[in-house]
Structure 1
């Protein structure tokens, strides 16, 4: 796949690429589609995102591209995508509905730490759109309205409420479209490698936090777990997800770090040791490199939300 494909780490970055501007304080957004893309037709370049998308579209025409597949956009469509895919879209008629984005770190901070156990489709690679009947679609449309209302509010518990509503949204997605999904059953060997890596990554961090191991796994450890040469393993992961193994490890480390800083009273040093860092200084440098904030500054910023 082309190196020219850009990766966006937030909805703000994606929208800015089209000349717009969005304010975003937390890794969650919801907007009305008709307010984001007011001039049609629109054809986007191909891109990747490091966050989840949920589109609830009651009206509109066009098509959505994911990897090498193309899907029609029409009335009453629910579209869910995970991070890592190559995406693109063409809008022929103004879309009406909601576009919702959130990151793994948001889910871990405002929902619960083992979110991937309850919702295994969050690591799926194949996610075609659904076209439910009007009655089922209305359930999602109503949830979108509730999420937008809360997102625009000044409530003290704003993001906690949004977290609860997001759980409702994910449960409805699971109930209607992914009830029998098994993330380890995919069509191709490459998908199996990627999904197994994501599962191993999640399991390893769980063991780290439980004190069952004292060092962070590296690329060769994840390759060895699948009996693959590290070079081949790295190539497959990069090709299928658009991110290197080290990027996945770093993002997972930051997601867990943010969750612990937000939800626990442990010191920075204790958190560093639990995540396999040799000392707090190394952890602080790593955290600041990826977030532009020190761990203490990040923790203090949460008190202002």
Structure 2
């Protein structure tokens, strides 16, 4: 049985012997520079990030779970977190890859990322072959993103986020305008998508209407009419993360956003996010970021 490696973006860097100083939420690379020797075959892995690949000139194939998709020149495709995947590059003369986390999408692209761009929940994403003129529109965008990524600026993430909004809108316009994630895939896939949509909705209600909600596995299971053990089993098998992992990541992302963009005190944020005591929130935040909420707020003002 082939070993499945769990990948964060930093793990990707390490596997390619690229320098990395810290965890990162967004990267863009010229593919021939990082895969200079072709053909190249990747290990089987489960990525914790999105990948968007723009192939102007090249060919190969990628595998998502048990589905294989060949690609060639003037092709665009993306893969989302959770799936078991691998890829093979036959040749790569002109291609770019963008990797970014769900946290980056929420914090810098759109807070309701799956509501605005539901195609990001797609179970499997075949490559999209484009006409040369249409592909050129995307080339302008990803090369501008590459240029901004190389710069050092205090507004770097916001600039990258806004450029990526345009890129996602163009992808939506060209390929996914009427996509409904709940109509695609088998029962387990639909449970995952329903859970992610519900996760979005609950956090949106809590933060926009000033309500306090306790985010527990049992609550989501009740909403979906499932036993909590079954819900957790499906989510874990399909995404590699437990329901509590998903809730924790979403809680952390919303906490960061509230600390950066509002005047709510840490105590108010704690209660808003369902913590019974502010000290519990502080411990949770420090466990995941190594700094306190107060320090995080000061460093982002």
Shorter-chain TM-score: what band? over 0.9
The alpha-carbon distance between structure 1 residues 23 and 95, as it changes in their structure 2 partners (threshold 3 A), is: farther
Q: How does the TM-score come out when normalised to structure 1?
A: 0.91
Aligned equivalents of 1:157 and 1:260: distance in 2? 18
SS at match of 1:184: helix
Aligned residues: 301
CA contact (8 A) 2:55 2:94 kept: yes
Q: How does the TM-score come out when normalised to structure 2?
A: 0.92
Alignment of 1:102-121 (within 5 A): 102-121=100-119
Alignment of 1:1-305 (within 5 A): 4-10=3-9, 12-23=10-21, 26-211=24-209, 213-303=211-301
In the TM superposition, what is the alpha-carbon distance from 1:25 to its structure 2 partner?
A: 6.6
Task: Tell me how large the CA RMSD over aligned residues is.
Answer: 2.0
Structure 1's unaligned 5+ residue stretches are: none
Greater than 3 Å deviation, 4+ residue runs: 22-26, 210-213, 300-303
CA contact (8 A) 2:2 2:44 kept: no
Structure 2's unaligned 5+ residue stretches are: none
Aligned equivalents of 2:224 and 2:163: distance in 1? 37
Q: Deviations over 1:15-64 (max 9, x none)?
A: 21233334567521111111111122221111122221111111222211
In the TM superposition, what is the alpha-carbon distance from 1:265 to its structure 2 partner?
A: 2.7
In the TM superposition, what is the alpha-carbon distance from 1:199 to its structure 2 partner?
A: 0.9
Q: Deviations over 1:246-277 (max 9, x none)?
A: 11111111111122222223222221111111
SS at match of 1:83: coil
Aligned equivalents of 1:222 and 1:4: distance in 2? 32
The alpha-carbon distance between structure 1 residues 156 and 288, as it changes in their structure 2 partners (threshold 3 A), is: closer
SS at match of 2:88: strand
